[in-house]
Chain A
Amino acid sequence: MTTVALDKRFYARAAVDETVEAFGHLAKITVSTTKDRIELSFDEIDSEVGDVLVDEFLNYALATTISNRGS
């Protein structure tokens, strides 16, 4: 299992939810929040995708956050 904590100042919860929806078929992704952070845990990652999934997930979440800020 891989865990990542995202700072809420850089990653919006709505963007993370949208990303979970986009990547949900490739892994079991659990989201929980604290005051400052969004905590993610990745489990049962699709073997064909491998470790790249988490990095791709983070890029997608960041891009979505920035896009939503601009609109």
Chain B
Amino acid sequence: MGNEKVLQVNQRIYPLESVLATAFVFIDECYVFLDKPEKNSISVRLRGKPDTTPEAFERVVGEFENELMNQSLRLKVSKRTEKIRDAIVHRALYSSMPQSMDLGLDDDDDGDYLDDPLGIAVPWEEKYSKEDDKEGKETE
């Protein structure tokens, strides 16, 4: 068949994940069939779609090989930077926690909880009945 090419991909250079990712990218442009005839290699058969010209198919094959390299490198960088990415995500999640999570326990606050400088703890009747008594006595 005219528009057909079989690539033998060395798995030591291009891991399975990168081959699958590349195949997925090109599935709309050509027919991809994977097989594994040997231990360390993957056979990738690319076949042009019915309306693909030989020139266009050659271009697709070249782009497939480039994408294979691209995906391999991406995978390598991804593995190498895995820890730093995790650290950044953890940091971002931690810093986005709402401030209300801070209980506001101020270590410098040396006030006693029994102190009542504004008189909030004094009952209303007690506070105003005394004043009323005073006013009553004064008017008498």
User: Which A residues fall within an 8 A CB radius of B?
Assistant: 7, 9-11, 52, 55-56, 58-59, 62-63, 66-67, 69
Contact = CB atoms under 8 A, between A and B. Distances in A.
A69 B20 contact: yes
17 contacts: A7-B35, A7-B36, A10-B36, A10-B42, A55-B33, A55-B47, A56-B31, A58-B33, A62-B27, A62-B32, A62-B34, A63-B24, A63-B27, A66-B21, A66-B23, A66-B24, A69-B20
3 tightest A-B CB contacts, nearest first:
A55-B31, A10-B34, A66-B24
Contact of B31 (A7, A11, A59): A59
Contacts of A9: 16, 36
A15 B32 CA distance: 16
Consensus secondary structure, chain A interface: helix
Interface residues of B, number: 15
Contacts of A66: 20-21, 23-24
Contacts of B20: 10, 66, 69
Contacts of B23: 62, 66
Contacts of A63: 24, 27
Interface in B18-56: 20-21, 23-24, 27, 31-36, 42, 47, 50
A58 B23 CA distance: 12
A1 to B, nearest CB: 18
